[in-house]
């Protein structure tokens, strides 16, 4: 069950040495939980490199409904999509106390020129993001809620100490946001899968006990 899947962002974070070098070019700032770092539609040229904590990338509609695109932890970065000067394509919010290095476009350009390894990382991440977006669109268009839930669990699950589980601690609301469903629907499906002996939930950790059925 350990398999990189294009439907979730398993892209490798920056190496510690690269992280320290690029962070040194910017300003280090700390933010409390639930701080909006980037607003969809705004114009800005800052790249946020996560040094500690966790952020979510999401889009929302006029009714306030959110669709979570991605999460980034230490070594990840957000905001690179606006480096062409266009408005921000998504919003970013901290989901726990987070420290970031904030690097502007000019600083980033200089760093890329001096460190081609980071330039390649950035190119590969953008390619990966296109693949993720395509895969997510296919899932939303072609799968029902149960199918999207199974796909997410299978994509995130990994073997840890002899057990298959989802290392990322997710609430039912976070799962619902990531698969484009209501919390109530996710709660019902999770309850059914637990009752059927397919999953167990320890705190916010999902443990996969046996292969999830393709349909429900």
Compute the half-sphere exposure of residue 115: CA atoms within 13 Å on the CB side of its CA.
19
**Is 44 strand, coil or helix?**
coil
Q: Which two tokens stand for residue 213?
A: 């059925």
**Could you tell me which residues are beta bridge partners of residue 52?**
99
Give the three-state DSSP class for 78.
Answer: strand
Crossing angle of helices 105-114 and 116-142, rounded to 10°: 120
Token duo for residue 106: 């000019």
For the chain, what is the radius of gyration of the CA atoms? 18
**Domains with residue ranges and CATH for the chain:** 16-140 (2.60.120.10), 143-208 (1.10.10.10)
Which residues are registered as beta bridge partners of 101? 28, 49
Do residues 208 and 1 lie in contact, with contact meaning Cβ atoms separated by under 8 Å? yes
> How does pLDDT run along the chain (216 residues), one tens digit per residue?
333 333 344 456 777 787 788 888 889 999 999 999 999 988 888 889 999 999 999 888 776 677 788 888 898 889 887 677 778 888 999 999 999 999 988 888 888 888 888 888 888 877 877 777 776 666 565 468 898 899 899 988 999 889 999 988 888 998 998 888 889 999 999 999 999 999 999 988 999 999 999 876
Q: pLDDT digit string (tens) for 168-202?
A: 888 899 899 888 888 999 999 999 999 999 999 99
């Amino acid at each position: 069950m350990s398999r990189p899947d294009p439907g979730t962002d398993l892209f490798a974070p920056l190496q510690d040495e690269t992280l320290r070098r690029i962070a040194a070019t910017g300003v280090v700032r700390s933010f409390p939980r639930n701080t909006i770092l980037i607003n969809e539609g705004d114009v800005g040229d800052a790249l946020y490199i996560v040094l500690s904590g966790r952020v979510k990338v999401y889009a929302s509609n006029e009714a306030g409904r959110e669709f979570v695109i991605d999460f980034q932890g230490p070594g990840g970065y957000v905001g690179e999509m606006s480096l062409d000067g266009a408005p921000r394509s998504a919003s970013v919010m901290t989901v726990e106390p987070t420290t970031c290095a904030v690097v502007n476009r000019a600083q980033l350009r200089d760093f890329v020129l001096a460190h081609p390894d980071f330039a390649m990382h950035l190119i590969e991440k953008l390619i990966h993001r296109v693949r993720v977006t395509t895969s997510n669109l296919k899932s939303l268009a072609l799968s029902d809620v149960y199918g999207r839930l199974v796909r997410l669990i299978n994509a995130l699950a990994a073997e840890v100490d002899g057990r298959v589980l989802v290392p990322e601690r997710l609430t039912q609301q976070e799962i619902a946001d990531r698969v484009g469903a209501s919390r109530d629907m996710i709660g019902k499906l999770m309850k059914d899968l637990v009752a059927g002996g397919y999953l167990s939930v320890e705190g916010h950790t999902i443990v996969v006990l046996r292969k999830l059925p393709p349909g429900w």
